[in-house]
Amino acid sequence: MSRNPLVREVPPTTWYFRQPRYLRYMSREITSIFVGAYCVLLVVGLQRLSQGQAAWEAFLLALKSADSIVFHVLALAAAVYHAATWFNATQKAMPVQIGEDFVPGNVISGAHYVAWMVLSVAILYLAGVF
Amino acid sequence: MKERTVQLEVLRYNPDTDTEAHFQRYEVVCQEEWVVLDALNKVKADIDPTLNYRWSCHMAVCGSCGMMINGEPKLSCHAFLRDYEGVIRVEPLAHFPIERDLVTAPDDFMEKLKRVKPYVIPKEKKPISEGEYKQTPAQLMKFRQYSMCINCMLCYAACPQYGLTPKFIGPAALTLAHRYNLDSRDGGRKERQEVVATHEGVWECTFVGACSEVCPAHVDPASALQQMKITSSIDWIVEHLIPGGKS
């Protein structure tokens, strides 16, 4: 008997349809497009600011358009989802051992959520929302 | 005991005669509390003795009977028939070459396992007369979870990165490297980093997390790999950004 192993290739562009968990993974990765796009938007805003008051006000007006609002809602949802997956991962990446026991994972992730809330409130305060 | 007729759709491949694999359907009268492995044993005993598959302990310890069951990597001795409805599709572990029927070739995994040096490399060698290398319970707990791997390779079958990039060292081997790196008796981390901290090592992992979801021993390889990414990054920062720093 000779060896003649059969190799089954993984389809390079459609593999993530094979399992729901792969789709969840891809949806997490795709959020980075929105996060990246929002960074570009911020850079464009800075550029308009450097060009003077008229350019800045035109930029602010553009932000109020329907397309812009839809984009902001999508980007916010993507950023929140991305952040949640990131915080949930911290308990795997940064376990804390005290003596023979490990701190429960939800305490580690929970601490990140608390820090997120505190920093968000601080930023909103500095932005004059309160 | 309650009986149930189960339809099994099993992937067959004969290396001597086939150029492609094909599915063959078996109708098997099973006991309700059986696992998929029992059904396969029934097929082999009563219906088709030519069917090939690996198994040994029948209690989720040896790691021999890993298969894709309805597309999910599972130990077939741990896949209860009562959890499945309709036709149960049984295939060899994904991402490994098929040797024959449900038997895969584990050569690639075995080669990678060797490369990460999965054994204690003592910090300081001492003669036996000086006694054993001692370890506290806390030091043991640091790596114990990662020592539970049974080398069943389900994590490789679940990992799309391994499927797409076969040079990836992969979850189980890297997790074992982490297990020995965390061992207080071990001094071999630097040697393992030559394999671990490379594109073929932890940096090929994109944290899909499927490895941990399918692991029958609850080893959580995804956590080991993320921890190794952090320590490897710290090594790089110390080496490249801190004057006089050495990893």
- CB contact B220 to A (< 8 Å): yes
d(CA A64, CA B105): 60
Whether B86 and B20 map to the same domain: the answer is yes
Q: Examine the pLDDT at B136 and tell me if it is beyond 80.
A: yes
Mean pLDDT computed over A42-69 = 97
B58, B76, B104 — which closes off a domain? B104
Mean pLDDT computed over A21-31 = 95
Q: Do the Cβ atoms of B105 and A4 come within 8 Å?
A: no
Q: Strand, coil or helix: what is A25? A: helix
Which of B194, B160, B192 is CA-nearest to residue B177? B192
Q: Which of B13, B164, B226 sits opposite A15 (nearest CB)?
A: B164
List alpha helices for B7-60, DSSP H.
36-42
Q: Which of A6, A12, A22 sits opposite B208 (nearest CB)?
A: A22
In a domain, B147, yes or no: yes
pLDDT attached to residue B125: 85
Whether B201 and B212 map to the same domain: the answer is yes
Mean pLDDT computed over A49-68 = 96
How far A12 CA sits from the closest chain B CA (Å)? 7
For the stretch B30-43, pLDDT in tens is 999 999 999 999 99
- CB contact A101 to B (< 8 Å): yes
- Place B124 in a pLDDT band, splitting at 50, 70 and 90: confident
Residues of A with CB below 8 A from B222's CB?
92
Q: Examine the pLDDT at B78 and tell me if it is beyond 90.
A: yes
> Between A and B, how many CB-CB pairs are < 8 A?
79
Whether B100 and B140 map to the same domain: the answer is no
For the stretch B173-199, pLDDT in tens is 999 999 999 999 999 999 999 999 999
Q: Examine the pLDDT at B243 and tell me if it is beyond 90.
A: no
Mean pLDDT computed over B95-110 = 97
d(CA A39, CA A36): 5
- Place B1 in a pLDDT band, splitting at 50, 70 and 90: confident
Distances (CA, A) of B150 to B60, B147, B155, B188, B192: 9, 9, 11, 22, 21
d(CA A68, CA A56): 16
Whether B35 and B116 map to the same domain: the answer is no
Residues of A with CB below 8 A from B17's CB?
none
Whether B151 and B30 map to the same domain: the answer is no
pLDDT attached to residue A2: 64
pTM of the model: 0.92
Q: Strand, coil or helix: what is A27? A: helix
Mean pLDDT computed over B168-173 = 98
- Structural domain count of chain B: 2
CATH number for the domain that contains residue B123: 1.10.1060.10
Mean pLDDT computed over B123-150 = 93
B104, B135, B163 — which closes off a domain? B104
Residues of B with CB below 8 A from A19's CB?
71-72, 210
Burial class (CB in 10 A: 0-12, 13-18, 19+), B209: buried
In percent, the amount of chain B with pLDDT more than 90 equals 92
- CB contact B236 to A (< 8 Å): no
Mean of all residue pLDDT scores within chain A = 94
The DSSP result for A59-82, as a single string, is HHHHHTSHHHHHHHHHHHHHHHHH
| CB B41, CB B90: distance < 8 Å | no
Q: Do the Cβ atoms of B99 and A3 come within 8 Å?
A: yes
pLDDT attached to residue B236: 93
Dihedral sign, Cα of residue B206, residue B210, residue B212, residue B216: negative
Mean of all residue pLDDT scores within chain B = 96
How far A76 CA sits from the closest chain B CA (Å)? 23
Whether B125 and B87 map to the same domain: the answer is no
Whether B152 and B186 map to the same domain: the answer is yes
Q: What is the ipTM of this complex?
A: 0.86
Find the distance separating the first CA and the last CA of chain B, reported in whole Å. 63
CATH number for the domain that contains residue B7: 3.10.20.30
B83, B104, B125 — which closes off a domain? B104
Whether B78 and B134 map to the same domain: the answer is no
CATH number of A11-81: 1.20.1300.10
- Place B157 in a pLDDT band, splitting at 50, 70 and 90: very high
Whether B81 and B196 map to the same domain: the answer is no
Q: Examine the pLDDT at B114 and tell me if it is beyond 90.
A: yes
Task: Find which of A10, A31, A32, A108 to mutate to test the B interface (most B CBs within 10 Å of its CB).
Answer: A10
Whether B77 and B129 map to the same domain: the answer is no
Q: Do the Cβ atoms of A101 and B141 come within 8 Å?
A: yes
pLDDT attached to residue B247: 54
pLDDT attached to residue B162: 97
Q: Which domain holds residue B8?
A: 3-104
Residues of A with CB below 8 A from B160's CB?
10, 15-16, 22, 25
Whether B80 and B11 map to the same domain: the answer is yes
Which of B21, B26, B32, B22 is CA-nearest to residue B7? B26
Whether B128 and B194 map to the same domain: the answer is yes
Helices and strands in chain A, H and E counts: 4, 2
pLDDT attached to residue A53: 96
Mean pLDDT computed over A94-98 = 95
Domain range summary for chain A, segments of one domain joined by +: 11-81, 94-130
Q: Do the Cβ atoms of B160 and A15 come within 8 Å?
A: yes
For the stretch A76-92, pLDDT in tens is 999 999 999 999 999 99
Q: Do the Cβ atoms of B163 and A97 come within 8 Å?
A: no
Q: Examine the pLDDT at A1 and tell me if it is beyond 90.
A: no
Task: Find which of B11, B226, B229 to mutate to test the A interface (most A CBs within 10 Å of its CB).
Answer: B226
Residues in chain B: 247
In a domain, B247, yes or no: no
